[in-house]
Structure 1
Amino acid sequence: MARGAEELVVFWKEWGIQALVLLSFTLQVILLITAEIRPLIDSGMLRAIVWLAYQLADTTAIYVLGHMSVIGSQSLPEHQLMAFWAPFLLLHLGGQDNITAYSIEDNRLWMRHLQIFAVQVLAAGYVLYESSLVLHQTLLRQAAILMFVVGVVKYGERVWALKRASSSNLSGKNYQSFGTVHIRNRGVSVIISGHNYGVMPAHQLLCFPMHLLKGPLPLVALGMTVLEYEWSSLYQMAEVQLSIMYDIFYSKAPVIHTWYGICIRVMSPLATITAFMLLRRFSDEDGDKYNAVDVAGTYVLLAGAIILEITSLLRAMFSSWAQAAVLTIQPFQRYGGNSCVGLVKKTFCSYLLYLVSLPRALLSYAMSNAGLPLRYWSGSMGQHNFIHLCTDSRDNRSSKIARWMGREDLWNMLVYTQSIPVPEDFSHLLDRQLRRSVSIIKESPDHIQNSRGQAALKRMGIPQEELVSWSVGIELDESILVWHIATHVYLSWHDERYPPRPALADTIQVLSNYMFFLLAARPHMLPNNASRQRYIELCNKVVNCLKYSSAEDLVSLIRERGKALDTPEIAQTLEHDPSRSSCSAEETNGALQENLTFDRASQLGEKLIDMTLDTPATSADMLDLISQVWMEMLCYVSYRCTPDSHARQLSNGGEITTVVAILMEYMKSDIFDSKRVGLTASDRP
């Protein structure tokens, strides 16, 4: 064992730096690949891989640069070529174009990154200065200077991108900055239609919903008219904008698509290729004087840098940002009259637009033929069901072990939550719900951004004093719990009485599970006053105090409780004592008298069933009512979610609440004429 340890120490002393430099390059490749699919998949495993690579990439490069600056000229003569690697470490610290920050906090720490940038540039410069190789070899000196400049520029570009992304509001600026910003049409018609949903309108109208992620921003007035409005295209445009917002906060895109960013993208590959050619000439003349492994490692670093830089250039050329930039070129805005020069300019720009649009069009065509949608975000909704959680975790061995270890809640969040694709009819339900508020003033409690289901119940003709109306006026977290349990109870009854289950019932279940998922797993996506406390208390009561063996048994107990609470004699004897936290000896099946939330959920579930049986309303009407309540609740939490939470969730694949908030911002603005929407009489408020 001792001999093996000694051999490992000897290996590390001789080859440790080489191994770490190659590890640094490998981490950059991993980041390039994983960061590309990061905004498209909501996966904990993917997040762990990206986080690990992001942290190790900076740590490894900084460590190696620090070690090389300490050793300096003390290294053996045959290893002097390693000094040439210092600029590559700066290049690695500059990161990949598709990931500058792992989380939103990294943007706010741009000053720390600026300090680290200054220190590492000095360290790399010191390594080159101390190297006799660079001082005496003309060809290698030129290559080192080229790569040093590229490394400094790319690293500085990353810091600049972090700074731009951290500018989240207008705090500290003149009050005049909050005035209205007028955006001229410049001759470009924004047509939101099935054939032109995308890039140009998404970029041109991004300033409207951007305050949802960046806080207070200037008011915007467009000098343009929307000629055509199709909901499916508007919905897809919001998805495109979700992708653009991710680029703004977590990539170099806003910096890349500037004049200096374009210059960097063009010059960096040329400089790197030139350095490779100089190294080839140097290697032919004096390469045999140095360690063969170091020479091979240098070629790997240079070839890898060339590939990464060319990849960066191609990504920038064929991105939606480039397509939008081409569409804003003057020949597209002004036809240039009948002059030959104007016609030539317009023809050239048209071919340029075709060039940058072709890869995306080919990708869209290939994916459509394969039956796959062109994704701009994860396109998924989290699912978490209270009934299934309490049933499955009660006697599950792994849950018992987690309970014994004191990590029951964390384990259940990992095991009993999942993600599913957004249902196809979700967009239609959202469209119908938003259009009902087109003619309602924004300050009204019946407007979609203020109503949590009250407007839907009012349209149904349910009096305010009824329990159903009262259930949407309590605190948000309790309202989600009550309606989630009641919805499951009602759908279980509906499946037995009116088989088979209609598609609307499936969508209702998805919406209910999603809102419950937000409360249980992502409460930061809810307004600030929402809390998981009631959720934890209710899980404790149901799992530890009730006797049931299946989901059907638990639903039956809830219904029995609801029926018991409808009896005046029993209802008068119920007392709510929040101070009690354990089960009493008198508690039996269906008797959770200490938990008001459980009582309210039981009452509501039974009330929804009674309303279907005792009123002229059909089961389809009740399903429609429940779907409207959930959709209004979703819109309410989407619009009131904090900008920081919306921006934070973009790094995890995005959230449907952000898409909903963007669409709400458009529908309440003056861009879209409600007369073009085509409201039917049943859709009008």
Structure 2
Amino acid sequence: MAAGLDPLVALWKEWGIQVLVLLSLALQVILLVTAEIRRRKDSGVLRVVVWSAYLMADMTAIYTLGHMLVTSRLPEHELVAFWAPFLLLHLGGQDNITAYSIEDNRLWLRHLQSFVVQVLAAIYVLYESSIFTGGRQSMLGQATILMFVVGVVKYGERVWALKSASSSALSGKNYNSFGRLHFVNPYTTRSWSPAPFLAHDLLSVPKHLLKGPLPLVAFDMKACCSWEDMYNIAENQLSLMYDVFYSKAELIHTWYGHCIRLTSLAATATALRLLFLGLSDKDGYNRVDVAATYVLLAGAVVLEITSLLRAMCSSWSLQQMITLARGHTVVSRRLVYLFYPAFLCGHLVRFALPRLGIQIRCWSGTMGQHNWIYMCSHCKDSRSSKIARWMGREDWWNTLVYTSSSVSVSADFRLLLKEQLRGSVGVDEENAEHIQNSRGRAALKKKGLYDDELLAWSVDTELDQSILVWHIATHVYLSWYKAEHGCLPHHAKVTEELSNYMMFLLAARPYMLPDNASRQKYIELCNKVINDLKLKYSSAEDLIMLVRNHGDALGAGRAQPSGNADTIEENADIIIENETFDRASQLSTKLITMETPDTGMLKLINQVWVEMLSYAGYRCRPDSHARQLSNGGEITTIVVLLVEYLKSDFLEFEKVEQDAELGMP
């Protein structure tokens, strides 16, 4: 067995270092591509790919650099030492991904320590090599120095980006900075300004909410934006905040950031030119080493060109040009004249790509879906769920399998959100009926239903229990409505999507809810219904009927159901000792019995869900919003931004009735 491995060991000793440096380059290309996708796509497979590439990129470069401490001394591998600066360049990462998760930013000191160690290791590799000795190595030595400087600068830039993303703009400053006001320039918010530019002008708002604290933000009250403009601005700001937390964007788009990109490209191209001259006589070098060297240099040039073009076409650069154009100094005007042709090309590319169906700056635009009734009715007898139960992973498996594909954020949802935000215009933000506080109370009070003890309890109890109760009641009501009227109205789709989305947050992403929201009641309810409920049910329709029957029984003061579903044993008890199940059953019955042509129950349910979503999003931890930006973002973050703009009187609503727009009764 050992003898059979000898050829492989010998092959690895001979060519292992070449494989590692090329793998390091390949991982950088993978990161460049996948990092741009993850900001607008929520995919588990994509997360695994990006995470694996992110970890392997650093590990491969560090391991290879350590391996070079030995191989660079071998006379048959003289060029190996020249690869050390490229590994520093790879450790600097790509401009569009410095951190995989928000926690990586907080580890910037660890990256700083690694930076010092790896730079010293590269220096030692170069010191022990023969690159700087002899006449023919002079040009190769110059190329090495150029690439070493570029690698150190790029690696250091990554560490600085991690530090900047982990701290507030007020960290380490005077205490009175907290009281300073930042005024938005009034003429930057005119209607002709594109949403990406307005998103930059107002970027201090999401920075204050997700990264803060920042100096207090004040707006020019005469400069209001329409609902459509502000919604587009909030969408753009999700992508901009991704740049702030997970990329080098804020460093790139400074005068020294632009200088680094220009000089690094020039230095890399010069090194490639020197390589052709320095390696004209290849007799003294290993042919494979020469080929690997050319691949590394050509790859570095391509990545630098890509970095420069991305910076030129970015909305950050276009915003800088607008800022310079607004300036009144001679220097600012000359800078605009100097760089205008280059940035004009980027501007044209930026506005041409969307017309071809390529979205440049966006987020996932989806809402996850998890239906508790569907899960309970299917996992109970599922073989895979039974295996997961035997392995002690039932909850994880069922949450994974029965969380359906995300749905696109619909126009109906945006109209519902618009209506609820309009209802809070002029309402004090400390008022219980403001959308950031109401949790459904405002919707019930407008209908005169808040006096009902059950309805009041359903929106005043813990948020996790409110979500469970209203989720079950919503789907029981929709099932009854469909049976009663033959079909569901068009706007019922958004009702179901909202209910499933809030349940998705509770079941799969509880960190996107306030700290006091827990999955405990969700797990207890699943256990009671799936394992402890004596009555049998074989489908979602049976479970819905079971909930209705239990609600009828509780309303009549009886302990057994009154229904006659085929799979339900008549007169069997539904005693599972679970308050959430009892309350959900009672609320289901209440919503059905209160349905009248004048009540508009479906509209009421929608309003409760939107208010609950706004409440949950506004009280979610800022770190959680920032964390989710790396997975495509969440609609809750957009809702939070819009609520903040509403409180700042920056939203302008036209005088149009929402019911007519949505087609609701």
- Give your verdict on TM over 0.5: yes
Matching residue of 1:360: 350
**1:324-473 maps to which residues of 2 (within 5 A)?**
324-329=319-324, 331-333=325-327, 354-367=344-357, 376-417=362-403, 418-473=405-460
Contact 1:276 1:302 in 2 (8 A): yes
Distance 1:541 1:166, change over 3 A: same
Amino acid of the residue matched to residue 97 of structure 2? I
SS in 2 for 1:135: coil
Matching residue of 1:487: 474
SS in 2 for 1:419: strand
Distance 1:59 1:218, change over 3 A: same
* Residue of 571, 587, 593 corresponding to 1:610: 593
Matching residue of 2:154: 154
Contact 2:39 2:239 in 1 (8 A): yes
Alpha-carbon displacement from aligned partner over 1:257-309 (angstroms, at most 9, x marks no partner): 0111100110111100100111101121x322110000000000000000000
Contact 2:441 2:450 in 1 (8 A): no
Alpha-carbon displacement from aligned partner over 1:350-403 (angstroms, at most 9, x marks no partner): 756532211111111111xxxx76661111101000000001111111111111
2: CA distance between counterparts of 1:21 and 1:78? 17
Amino acid of the residue matched to residue 179 of structure 2? G
Alpha-carbon displacement from aligned partner over 1:98-139 (angstroms, at most 9, x marks no partner): 000000111000011001000100100110111112333211
* Residue of 202, 210, 214 corresponding to 1:213: 210
Deviates more, 1:1-10 or 1:111-120: 1-10
Deviates more, 1:544-553 or 1:240-249: 544-553
**1:635-650 maps to which residues of 2 (within 5 A)?**
635-650=614-629
Matching residue of 2:95: 97
Distance 1:344 1:276, change over 3 A: closer
* Residue of 126, 129, 132 corresponding to 1:128: 126
Alignment gaps of 5+ in structure 2: 561-568, 661-665
Alpha-carbon displacement from aligned partner over 1:292-335 (angstroms, at most 9, x marks no partner): 00000000000000000000000000011011111101x34559
Q: Does 1:509 align with 2:496?
A: yes
Q: Does 1:198 align with 2:198?
A: no
Alpha-carbon displacement from aligned partner over 1:446-486 (angstroms, at most 9, x marks no partner): 00011100000000111424312221010110010000000
Q: Does 1:320 align with 2:299?
A: no
Shift, 1:172, TM fit: 5.1
Matching residue of 1:630: 609
Matching residue of 1:51: 51
Deviates more, 1:342-351 or 1:377-386: 342-351
1: CA distance between counterparts of 2:306 and 2:220? 38
Contact 1:211 1:643 in 2 (8 A): no
2: CA distance between counterparts of 1:551 and 1:509? 15
1: CA distance between counterparts of 2:208 and 2:312? 28
SS in 2 for 1:531: coil
Alpha-carbon displacement from aligned partner over 1:570-606 (angstroms, at most 9, x marks no partner): 59xxxxxxxxxxxxxx998561341110000000011
Amino acid of the residue matched to residue 402 of structure 1? A
Matching residue of 1:582: none
Amino acid of the residue matched to residue 365 of structure 1? R
Distance 1:467 1:295, change over 3 A: same
Contact 2:419 2:658 in 1 (8 A): no
Contact 2:71 2:77 in 1 (8 A): no
**1:132-147 maps to which residues of 2 (within 5 A)?**
132-136=130-134, 137-147=137-147
2: CA distance between counterparts of 1:119 and 1:404? 48
Contact 1:212 1:642 in 2 (8 A): no
1: CA distance between counterparts of 2:161 and 2:45? 27
- Give the structure-1-normalised TM-score: 0.90
SS in 2 for 1:133: coil
SS in 2 for 1:641: coil
Shift, 1:150, TM fit: 0.3
Alpha-carbon displacement from aligned partner over 1:142-200 (angstroms, at most 9, x marks no partner): 00000000000000000010010010474554321211233362x84312x4x644121
- Give the structure-2-normalised TM-score: 0.93
Distance 1:648 1:590, change over 3 A: farther
Amino acid of the residue matched to residue 190 of structure 1? T
1: CA distance between counterparts of 2:417 and 2:231? 10
Amino acid of the residue matched to residue 667 of structure 1? L
2: CA distance between counterparts of 1:241 and 1:343? 28
Amino acid of the residue matched to residue 392 of structure 1? H
Amino acid of the residue matched to residue 575 of structure 2? L
SS in 2 for 1:312: helix
Size of the aligned set, in residue pairs, is 647
* Residue of 508, 512, 519 corresponding to 1:521: 508
Alpha-carbon displacement from aligned partner over 1:604-655 (angstroms, at most 9, x marks no partner): 011000000xx5535xx11100000000000001111111101011111111
SS in 2 for 1:529: coil
Shift, 1:568, TM fit: 3.3
SS in 2 for 1:209: helix
Matching residue of 2:289: 294
* Residue of 513, 538, 547 corresponding to 1:558: 547
SS in 2 for 1:220: strand
Distance 1:588 1:243, change over 3 A: farther
Shift, 1:557, TM fit: 0.4
Distance 1:323 1:592, change over 3 A: farther
The percentage of counterpart residues that share the same residue type is 62
1: CA distance between counterparts of 2:184 and 2:426? 27
Contact 1:189 1:225 in 2 (8 A): no
Matching residue of 1:307: 302
Contact 1:78 1:291 in 2 (8 A): yes
Shift, 1:349, TM fit: 7.3
2: CA distance between counterparts of 1:629 and 1:200? 34
Distance 1:249 1:590, change over 3 A: farther
